[in-house]
Structure 1
Amino acid sequence: MARRDPAEMPSQRVITSGLARFGVWGTTLLASWMLALLVLQVLFGRQLERIQTLQLGRDLALNVRLTELTLERYPPALISELTGLELLVSQQPSRPTKETQGMAQRRQELQQVLCSRLTHCPELRPAPNRSGTPEVWIELFSPLEPVWLRTPLPMARAWPPQPMLLLLALVSAVVITGVLYLLLDVARPLRKLEDAVSRVGEDNDRDPIPEQGAPEVRRISRRFNAMVRRLAEAQRERVTMLAGIAHDLRAPLTRLQFRLSMPELNADERTRCQSDLDALERITGQFLLYAGGGEREEYVVCPLDQWLAETVAGQPSNQLQLQLSSISARIRPIALGRAVSNLVDNAFSYGTTPVVVRLRKTGSEVAIEVWDQGQGIPSSDWERALQPFQRLDSARGRQGHCGLGLAIVNHVVRTHEGKINFRQGNGDPGRFGVIINLPRG
C-alpha cells in the first residue's frame, strides 16, 4: 500500500477547507438572491404591473385610433385580413366562464389608460382565454355596426421574474453576502484577535485563538499564536534561568552559614562574612521575586488601608509614618505587597527617615505613595531606574543589590494596569517620593 506524503496533507486540507467555504458562501449568495427577489417582488411587483399597463395602454390607444379611422372606409373583415388584428362584429362578444380579481383589476386599469388617451372612453370586456394569456375585448367606435378588437392582456409574471427584478435581486444578494462575509469572516475574528492582542503580556499561557475567518485573518491569527508561543517559551526560559541562578546561589550561602558557625573566625571576619551573607540573601530574594512576577495570583477586593498597615508592620514604627485613607480596591495582595515592601526598603536603605507611606484617592485611581527625606534619584535617571539590572551607584549604590528592586515594582504595577511615577517634593510629606497609581476597578 502506497504511503501518502505528509507534506501533501496540509495542502489537501487547505483545498478541502477552501471548497467547503466556497460552497457555504455560494449557498449563502443563492439564498440571499432568492430572498431579495421575493422581497423585491412584494415591494415592486405592483409598480411594474402599472408600468406595463401604461405601456400597453399607449400601444393599444394608437391601434384603436388607427383602426377606428380605417373602419370609416373599409369593412372589418378586410382590415383584419390586412393588419392581422382580430376584429369581431357583434353586440355581445363571448365572455370567459370565470375572471379572477387580478385580471379584473388589470382590465380596469387598462381602461382608465385608454380613456385618458382617446377622445372617447371605450368599453373593455374579458375574453375567453385561448393561449394561457388573459385577453380582453375593446369596443371600437364604428358608425355602422358594433366592432370589438381582441387583444392579449399580459399579467405580471410570478415566475420567471422580470429581468429588472432579477438584476436588482442579484446586486442586493451580492451586497448582503459581502456584508455577512465582512461581519462573520473578517470583523468578528479581528475583534477576537484585537482582544487577544490587548491581553498579551498578562498571561502568555492561555489557549491560542481559533484560526477562523477569511484566509488573510487566519494567517494573521496563526502568526499571532506563534508569537504568543514564543513569548511563553521566553517567559519560561526567563523564569527557569532566574530560578537556576537563585538555586545556585543557595549553595555558597549554605557554606557561608556553616563557616560562620565555626569558632575559628574572629569578630571582624565574622562581621564581613555576615555582611556578604546578607548581600547574597538579598540578591537571591530579588531574583526569586522577579522570576515569580505574581501573574498567576488571583485578584481580590480588600481594604487598602488595613492591607498597607500589615505590609509595613515589620518596619521601625518610630521612623515610619502612615497617612492612610479608607479605600477598597481590587488587587493581587501578595505581589503588590512585595512591590510596596521593596519601595519601603529602598526608602529606609537609601533615603533619610522618617519614611511616609500615604494612601489617597486621585479621581478614578488610587495612589500609594512612599516618601523619604533624602535626595532621591536624579530625574534624568528615572526611566533607567525602572529597567532590570540597572544599579544607580552614584545615587544609591550599596552592596547586596542587583538592580531588580524597582524593576519588580514596575512589573507588578503593570500587571495591575497601573503606572509608577517619581516626584520631587518640598518636604511635605517628603523630599522624594515614588507613587503607584492603580485603577480602583
Structure 2
Amino acid sequence: MRRPIDSLFGRLALLVVAVLLLSHFAWYALMRLERSQLQTRYAVEEATFLVDAVRQHVVRNPDQPLPSRVKLVDPASPEVPPETADMPPPLERFIEDVRERMPSGTQVRVGLPGRPPTLWVRASSDRSWIVVPVQPLRTPRSLDRTVLWLVIIFAFAVMAALFAAWALQQPLRSLAQAVARFGRGLPVPPVPERGPRELRQLTHGFNQMVQEVARTENDRAVMLAGVAHDLKTPLARLRLRAEMMEEVKMRDGVVRDVDSMTHIVEQFLVFAHDGADRSEPVEVDAQCERVVRSYRAVVSGAPAVQTDLRAGPAFQLPAATLDRILSNLLDNAHAYGAPPIVVATARTAEGFTLSVSDNGKGIAAQDLVNASRPFVRLDPARGGNGHSGLGLAIVERLVRRAGGEWHIGNHDGRGLRVLMSFPLSAVPEVRTASESAW
C-alpha cells in the first residue's frame, strides 16, 4: 500500500505545513504579548498624564470644577481604598510603573473591585487623594478579526508553499520514472534538465549514461545481428550438403549439428532485436493453450505439459512477445527439466501472473543470480547442445519491455519456476464489442 508520506512531495508538504503552523502560532503569541505590554504602557502614560493635569488644575484654577470621573478625596474619607498586599501580577506591575513615574514617596492604590476602574494617587505634597479613571488592563477582546486574518494568511502561505514543493519534486518525479523505465529495459527519452543546479547535474549525468548504454547496446545488437545474419547462408548450404550425404548415420549427425547451430543463430537474432513489439494483444490464457497444444504436436519426445489458466480474458499481452516467452521457457524446461511442465496464470490484487515450472533438479542457489545473464551456461548441470545461454536472458528482456517483473527460483524444493508479474497498468485494456465497433 502506497503511503503519501513516503513521497518527496508528501514529506515536503508535511514539513512546510509544520513550519508555517509553528511560525504563525509563535507570531500570534508574540503579537498578543506585545499588545498586552503596549496596553499597560499606554495605561501608565495616560494615568500619569491625568494626575499631572489635575495637580496643575488645582494649582492654577482651584475654583474651576474638575472633569467628570476625576475627583479629589479627603484622606480621612472612608471612600479611600485600603492598600492591598495581594494583587494580580499585571495589576501589581502597573502600580509599580505608575509609582516609578511619580515623585518619591507617592502612594498609589487602585479602586475597589466591582466599580469602574480608578487610580488613587497621593504624593507627599498633595492635600487630597487624586482619583482618575484608568483603562482596564485586560479588556475582554474577541479573537474575531485577528484569528480570521491569521487563518487567511496561513491558508495562502500553505498553498504557495505546496505549489513550490510540487514544482521542486516534479523534476525528481520525472527522473524517477525514467530510472524505472531504464531498469525495465524500456526506451528512455531524454529527461528535461530543470530544477536546482544539483538536480540539473544529476539529470544531465543520467541522460549521458542512458545515451552511452544505448550506444553500447546498439553496437552489440548490430554486431550480433550481423554475425547471425552472415552465418545463416553458410548454415543453409551446409545443411543442403548434409542432406546429400549417402551415409545415413553421419548425415543425421551433421543435420542435428546444423539444426543446433541454426537455433543458436536464431537466438542471437531475437536477443539482438531491440524494437518494440507492435503485434496485436491476445488473451494470455487462450494463447497459452494454443502454444502448449502446438508444442505437444511439434516437439518430438516432449514431456507432459499441463496448464492451469485462471487469469481470465482481461489478461492480454502482445502476441509475438508472449509466443517468444513461452517458446523459450518451454524449450528450457524440455532441455533441462523433468515432467510435468506446468504453464499457469492467475489474477492478483495488483495485476496478473504467468509462470512456467518443471519438476527437474532446478538450479543451485549460488547459480540463480547468473541464470539470466546473456551467454552464461550453467554446465554441466544445465548444459546441452544447441543452446547459447540466451533463453532466460531473452525472457527477462521481453518481460521487462512488456512492463512486468520476473522472479526465477526453485519451487517447493523441486524444479525451476519462472514467475512473471504484470501490473494492471502494463496490461492493455479489454475493449468491448460496442467500443470496437466505433
TM class, shorter-chain normalised?
0.5 to 0.7
User: Which residue of 412, 415, 419 maps to 1:432?
Assistant: 415
Q: Partners in 2 of 1:48 and 1:351 — Cα distance?
A: 83
C-alpha displacement at 1:185, in angstroms? 5.5
Question: Alignment partner of 2:55: what SS?
Answer: helix
**Distance in 2, Cα, partners of 1:399 & 1:375:** 19
After superposition, the C-alpha distances for 1:353-405 in whole angstroms (9 at most, x for unaligned) are: 45443334566564434344543434443332222111122123222111111
Q: Structure 1 residues 379, 204: CA separation in 2 closer, same or farther (over 3 Å shift)?
A: closer
Matched, 1:227 2:209: yes
Deviation at 1:424, TM superposition (A): 5.1
Counterpart of 2:410 (choices 412, 415, 423) is: 423
Alignment check: 8 A CA contact 2:181 2:188 kept: no
Q: Secondary structure at the match of 2:294?
A: coil
Corresponding position of 2:46? 60
Q: Which shifted more, 397-406 or 247-256?
A: 247-256
Counterpart Cα distance in 2 of 1:198 and 1:332: 21
Q: Which residue of 2 aligns with 1:346?
A: 332
- SS of the counterpart of 1:315? helix
Q: Give 1:357's aligned residue.
A: 343
**Structure 2 residue runs without a partner (length 5+):** 1-22, 68-115, 122-127, 129-149, 425-438
Aligned ranges 1:377-396 → 2 under 5 Å: 377-396=363-382
What is the distance in 2 between the residues matched to 1:219 and 1:76?
85
- Partner deviation per Cα, 1:62-109 (whole Å, 9 max, x = no partner): 02212322433x3269xxxxxxxxxxx8999xxxxxxxxxxxxxxxxx
Compared with structure 1, are the counterparts of its residues 47 and 71 closer, same or farther at alpha carbon in structure 2 (3 Å cutoff)?
same
Q: Could you tell me which runs of 5 or more consecutive residues in structure 1 were left unpaired when the two chains were aligned.
A: 1-35, 78-88, 93-114, 121-142, 144-167
Mapped pair 1:312 → 2:292: yes
CA distance in 2, matches of 1:367, 1:48: 67
Equivalent residue in structure 1 for 2:397, among 408, 411, 429: 411
- Partner residue of 1:126? none
Identity %: 29
Could you tell me which amino acid in structure 1 is paired with residue 258 of structure 2?
Answer: L
1:260 paired residue number: 242
Contact 1:280 1:400 in 2 (8 A): yes
- The match for 1:275 is 256
Residue 278 of structure 1, CA deviation: 0.2
Q: How many residues align?
A: 319
Q: CA deviation at 1:229?
A: 1.6
Q: Distance in 2 between matches of 1:56 and 1:379?
A: 84
* 1:206 aligned residue (183, 188, 211): 188
| Residue 300 (structure 1) shift | 7.2
| Distance apart, 1:268 and its partner CA | 3.6
Contact 2:267 2:391 in 1 (8 A): yes
Please state how far the C-alpha of 1:302 moved relative to its aligned partner: 4.5
Contact 1:376 1:432 in 2 (8 A): yes
Aligned to 2:9: none
Q: Quote the offset at 1:303 in angstroms.
A: 3.2
User: 2:218 — aligned with what?
Assistant: 236
- Counterparts of 1:264-303 in structure 2 under 5 Å? 266-292=247-273, 296-297=276-277, 302-303=282-283
Q: How does 1:83-162 map to 2 (within 5 A)?
A: 116-119=117-120
Is 177-186 or 394-403 further displaced after alignment?
A: 177-186
**How many angstroms apart in 2 are the aligned matches of 1:287 and 1:198?**
26
Distance 1:49 1:359 in 2: 73
Structure 1 Cα separation of the partners of residues 420 and 230 of structure 2? 36
**Amino acid in the other structure paired with 2:284:** L
The structural deviation recorded for 1:230 is 1.6
Instruction: Compute the RMSD of aligned alpha carbons.
Output: 4.5
From the superposition, tell whether residues 364 and 272 of structure 1 become closer, same or farther in structure 2 (CA, over 3 Å). Answer: same
Map 1:17-28 onto structure 2 (within 5 A): none
The verdict on how the C-alpha distance between 1:222 and 1:176 changes in structure 2, with shifts beyond 3 A counting, is: farther
Alignment match, 2:233: 251
Counterpart code for 1:118: L
The 2-side partners of 1:379 and 1:56 are apart by 84
- Select the residue among 66, 72, 75 that pairs with 2:60: 75
- Rounded to whole Å, the distance in 2 between the matches of 1:370 and 1:181 is 48
Question: What secondary structure, in the 3-state scheme, does the structure 2 residue paired with 1:406 have?
Answer: helix
2-structure distance, mates of 1:56, 1:375: 94
